[in-house]
Amino acid sequence: MYRIRCAKAADLDGIFELAKHLNTINLPADRQRLAQMLDQSSQQLAGSEKPDQAIIFVLEDDKDGVLGSATVIARHGSPQAPHCYFDVIDEQRYSPRLDQVFHHQVLRLGTSFLPRTEIGGLVLHPSLRGQGLGRLLSICRFQFIAAHRSRFCDNLLAELLPPLDEQGNSPLWKALGQRFTGLTYREADHLSGQEKEFIEDLFPRGDLQVSLFSPETQAVIGQVGEQTKGALRLLLEQGFFYTKRIDPFDGGPHYRARTNEVLALRNTRSLRAHIGKGEVPVIVGRADNEAAEYRALRCSVSIHGMQAHLPEEALRRLDLNVGDELLVTPL
């Protein structure tokens, strides 16, 4: 039975191996940076309100250790480190002489200083894909937000990965960002995890005509990569929508939702634990006030009034006793 819990410093080796499968700003394949992120995660769980620090969750079993991870950033965007994006603007031009309307897309750099909660990167060991565990990892973050609602903002943001080239680089960054910063995509991705001022300082402020880019670059703007399509389907199901904004690094789309309107948050219930036979598959989690003690797993429950009946093994894996409060979120 797989279990999700909050990450600890001792998970560094396992998370580092997982990061090699994705290696993004949210989960870089860099031991020093990951150790720092684990420390920041512990601080966030202890009550820190510093922006742009991720809470890290891990998926584990009894024998193979860490097999997946997911993150959520309680507060992303501040006056000191604003949220940067490109607005994707549809523009029309008409020529009376040609009697023809031309349609263009324009990119316009923008920044926001208002914090929002970011649903960060999710990594699952390749051997476990297709078993519904990615969905479990993703939805557990919404359950955690529901359990500790005051820690999080009123809007949720998800920045999705676009199609990348065979070397794992961004066509948009190569066509745009690299020319204005002198940095490779990986260098810029790494630097942005520490500070983002160079984007505001160096990127062009005027409107950028998308038609001036190559067809290959135009094709990735606002699109999601093949491995990200499952995540997109889940977000849409939960109530997220495309904001017509993209990441200035790689052109990946930004999706947003009102926190209290997300399906999993609205449907999370607090019930009392009892041993019994389950019938409906759900995510069951601890409802402790201590955020660091959060644990969750997938199992079947039967709900009778304010009671949730579930297998004894599930209670054991959650370190709960009969009568304890727990969280139930439909899958």
CATH (domain of 294): 2.40.40.20
Residue 323 binned pLDDT confidence (cut-offs 50, 70, 90): very high
In a domain, 102, yes or no: no
Cβ contacts of 245 within 8 Å, gap of 6 or more: 85, 86, 87, 88, 110, 253, 254
Res. 151: pLDDT tops 90: yes
User: Which pLDDT tens digit goes with each residue over 171-224?
Assistant: 999 999 899 988 888 788 777 766 667 887 888 888 999 999 999 999 999 999
207 falls within a domain: yes
pLDDT at 58 over 70: yes
Q: Residues 25-54: pLDDT tens digits? A: 667 888 998 999 999 999 999 999 999 999
Residue 67 and residue 143 share a domain: yes
Q: Which amino acid is at 118?
A: E
Clarify whether residues 163 and 278 are in a common domain: no
Out of 226, 246, 264, pick the residue that ends a domain.
264
Same domain membership, residue 324 and residue 283: yes
- Does 99 map to a domain? no
Q: Answer yes or no: are the C-beta atoms of 37 and 57 closer than 8 Å.
A: no
- Answer yes or no: do 55 and 160 share one domain: yes
pLDDT at 86 over 90: yes
Task: Evaluate if residue 322 carries a pLDDT over 70.
Answer: yes
Total domains present in the chain: 2
Is residue 172 located within the same domain as residue 184?
Answer: yes
305 in any annotated domain: yes
Say how many C-beta atoms besides its own lie within 10 A of residue 58's C-beta: 22
Neighbours of 78 (CB within 10 A): 15
Same domain for 184 and 51: yes
Task: Say whether both 228 and 158 belong to one domain.
Answer: yes
Q: Are residues 296 and 206 in the same domain?
A: no
pLDDT of residue 160: 94
150 CB neighbour count, 10 Å cutoff: 4
Exposed/middle/buried for residue 92 (C-beta within 10 Å: 0-12, 13-18, 19+): exposed
Q: Looking at the structure, do residues 206 and 309 belong to the same domain, yes or no?
A: no
pLDDT number for residue 244: 96
**Structure confidence at residue 82 as a pLDDT band (50, 70, 90):** confident
According to DSSP, residue 227 is labeled G
Residue, of 81 and 67, whose pLDDT is higher: 67
For tokens 């200083």, name the residue: 113
Structural domain containing residue 180: 3-86+109-264
* 242 and 277 housed in the same domain: no
Residue 166: per-residue pLDDT: 81
**Domain-located, residue 95:** no
Does residue 192 share a domain with residue 320? Answer: no
Q: What is the mean pLDDT of residues 226-230?
A: 87
CB 14 within 8 A of CB 65: yes
Query: Is 152 within the bounds of a domain?
Result: yes
Asked which of 264, 294, 314 is the last residue of a domain, the reply is: 264
pLDDT exceeds 80 at position 153: yes
* Residue 256, in any domain of the structure: yes
pLDDT of residue 26: 66
CATH number of the domain that residue 74 is part of? 3.40.630.30
Least trusted range by pLDDT, from 58-62, 93-97, 249-253, 259-263: 93-97
Q: What percent of the chain has pLDDT over 70?
A: 97
Across all residues in the chain, what is the average pLDDT?
Answer: 90
| 33 and 70 share one domain | yes
Write the burial class of residue 198 (CB in 10 Å: 0-12 exposed, 13-18 middle, 19+ buried): middle
Query: In whole angstroms, what is the distance from residue 136 CA to residue 156 CA?
Result: 18
Q: Cα separations (Å) of 277 from 3, 83, 272?
A: 19, 47, 15
